[in-house]
Amino acid sequence: MVNNEKVEEIFLTLEEKFEKTVNVMSGEFAAIRAGRANPHVLDKVQVEAYGMMTPLQQLGNVSVSDARCLVISPWDKSLLKAVEKAILASNVGITPTNDGSVIRLVFPELTEERRKDLVKQVRKMGEESKVAVRNIRREAMEAIKKMKTGKELSEDEAKNCEQDVEDSTAKAIAEVDKVVAAKEKELLTV
């Protein structure tokens, strides 16, 4: 790689954006339920409590009681109705059961058809992440071309930098594929 501060900055930004893209996709995958109880499906649930919207995790304990059941124990029992309402309003797809002291979420077994739908959704999200990775690559390539036309880089240096960008892009796309494959496997495992 060329020893140039601007080039180093381009590559640092490139790697950060690639990592962020994969992390965002992984976070979205955590919210996709696979028939097993997973507290992460509630990560985006916001409850109206004390006059403002608050993440569910900040209002009580969320624990896995068995392979297919989550138990939500709010610290303030007066929030049970609000928590129940928030879960129903979110697109978790599970109806909560309120027994007056805790809320239970029982995850039904996924049908084969639902598993296939979820796999399609995961693949679509993976494709969107790959598009984001390619857009990041395009930005880096444009920055390198600008440096080449501005005579900050020689022809050979620019070619080497472009090859390094391609290599980093290939690694990022391989990482996206790996994460997608792992989630598909999880979804298809009965």
Q: Which CATH superfamily is domain 5-31+111-188 in?
A: Ribosome-recycling factor (1.10.132.20)
- The mean-pLDDT minimum among 75-84, 124-133, 174-183 falls in 75-84
CATH 1.10.132.20 residue window(s) in the chain? 5-31+111-188
Q: Which of 40 and 157 is assigned the larger pLDDT?
A: 157
Over the stretch 119-162, which tens digit does the pLDDT of each residue have?
A: 999 999 999 999 999 999 999 999 999 998 988 888 898 999 99
How large is the average pLDDT for residues 92-98? Answer: 81
**Residues paired with residue 61 on neighbouring β-strands, in sequence order:** 73
Q: How confident is the model at residue 70 (pLDDT cuts 50, 70, 90)?
A: confident
Q: How confident is the model at residue 109 (pLDDT cuts 50, 70, 90)?
A: confident
pLDDT at 35: 65
What percentage of the chain exceeds 90 in pLDDT? 34
The answer to pTM > 0.75 is no
> Chain-centre distance of CA 20, in angstroms?
9
- What topology does CATH give the domain 39-106? Gyrase A; domain 2 (3.30.1360)
Mean pLDDT over the full length of the chain = 87
In the chain, list all ranges with CATH 3.30.1360.40: 39-106
Q: What is the per-residue pLDDT for 2?
A: 52
